[in-house]
Chain A
Amino acid sequence: MSGDTIVAPSAAAPLPNPRHSTVGDKVRFALRGIGQTLITLGLVVLLFAVYEVWITNIFAHREQVKVYNALHQEWLNGFDPLSLPETGPHSIPPGSGIAVLYIPRLGADYHFAIVQGSVVPDDSQLEKGPAHYADTQLPGQIGNFGVAGHRVGKGEPFLNLDHLRSGDTVVVETKSMWWVYKVLGRPDGADPEGNMTSIASKCGDGSVSGIPVPGREIVDPSDGDVLLPVPSHPGCTPTTAALMTMTTCHPKFTASQRMIVHAQLATQYKNNRHWISSGKFPPQIAALYQEASA
C-alpha cells in the first residue's frame, strides 16, 4: 500500500545532493555572476575617471616642469629657441619649450611653458603643456599664434578657458618680450562668446576691410579655419593685428566640439635677464594681475 512505501520527506530533504542544483540555483548563479561583472565594470570606469583627472595630471606636471626648467635654462644661457629657423632640420624641436603662458584671470600661480607642436600637436606634445600649432605664427607676429591645450587631465592648462572675459589679458613671455594679448570682444568684461572685434584685413583682391572675429566660439573639431591669420576667413591676412588663438575640447570630458578663444596683441614690453633670473614680473605685467583681481 502506498501508505507503507512513503518515506517521510523530512528524512531525505536535509541532505540534498550538492551536485544536483535546481533550476532556481542555476538562475541565481547566473544572475549573481552578471551582477558582479557589472559592479566590477562600474568600479573600473570610476577608477578610469580617477586616472583621467588625477593620475594624468601627476605625469603631465612632471613633464611640464622639465620643459619649463629647460626653457628657463636656455634663456639664462642666452639662447632663444624662437631664433631658430621655422622650417628645415635646424628648426625648433617639437616638444621643446618656446614661451611661457600667463593668464592673470586664472590666478597668480597660473603659468605653463608652451611647447612647440607639430602642424597638429600630438598627444606626446600636449602632455607636456599647451602646444603651438607649428604652421601658425609665433608669439607677437602679425597673423595668428595658435595654441592647443588639454581641458581635463594631462595638466589641464585650459580647464578654465571659459572663465576668460572680453578684454582679459593673456601674457606670453618669450626670451626677448612680454607679449600682452587681450581677449577679443567689447573690452568691458562681457561674455566673449560671439562678441566681435573688427580686424583690419587684406583679402584676395587687395582690398582692406574690417573682418569681425569673436572672442570665443564653439566649433566643430574639423574647423581648422579658426587658426587662419584672420580666423575663419581663408585668403585674408591682418594688416597690423597679431592674434592668438587657443583651442581645447568642449564640453568638458568630451571631444564632440572645440572651444576657441581669440585674443589680439595689445601691448608688449621688453624682457631681459633681470626678470628671467629673478622670476619676477616687470611692473607693467604685475599691474595686469592687480587689474584681474580687482
Chain B
Amino acid sequence: MYVWIWRHLPGPLAVRMLQVLVAISLVSLLLLFVIFPWIEPHLPINKVTVSTK
C-alpha cells in the first residue's frame, strides 16, 4: 500500500518527502485529537472509581 502511494505521489523526491510528512502529520493529528478521544471512553482502561450501591 505504501509503495503504491509513493509511486502515485507527483513531483521530484523532495516534494514527495514533504507530502509524506504532511500526510503522516495529518493522520497523527486526526488520531490524537479526534479518534482517540472518541474511542477512549469505550476502552476498559483508566477506570478509577469503585462502584457504590
Contacts and interface: CB of A to CB of B under 8 A. Distances in A.
Given A36-B1, A36-B2, A121 B49 contact: yes
Interface string B1-36: 111000000000000000000000000100111001
Nearest to B44: A255
Interface residues of B: mostly helix, strand, loop or mixed? loop
Contact of B50 (A47, A154, A222): A222
B47 A253 contact: no
A150 interface: yes
Contacts of A219: 50
B48 A119 contact: no
A213 interface: no
B21 to A, nearest CB: 15
A135 B41 CA distance: 24
Contacts of B41: 123
Contact of B52 (A32, A44, A135, A253): A135
Interface residues of A: mostly helix, strand, loop or mixed? mixed
A154 B47 CA distance: 11
Interface size class of B (residues with CB under 8 A): 20 to 34
B31 A151 contact: no
Contacts of A120: 49-52
A33 B1 contact: yes
Contacts of A107: none
Given A44-B31, A47-B31, 6 more contacts: A51-B32, A120-B52, A224-B51, A227-B50, A255-B47, A258-B50
21 contacts: A48-B36, A50-B32, A52-B40, A52-B46, A120-B49, A123-B41, A126-B49, A150-B48, A151-B48, A154-B46, A221-B51, A222-B50, A224-B53, A227-B50, A227-B52, A248-B48, A249-B46, A249-B47, A255-B45, A255-B47, A255-B48
Interface of B: 1-3, 28, 31-33, 36, 40-41, 44-53
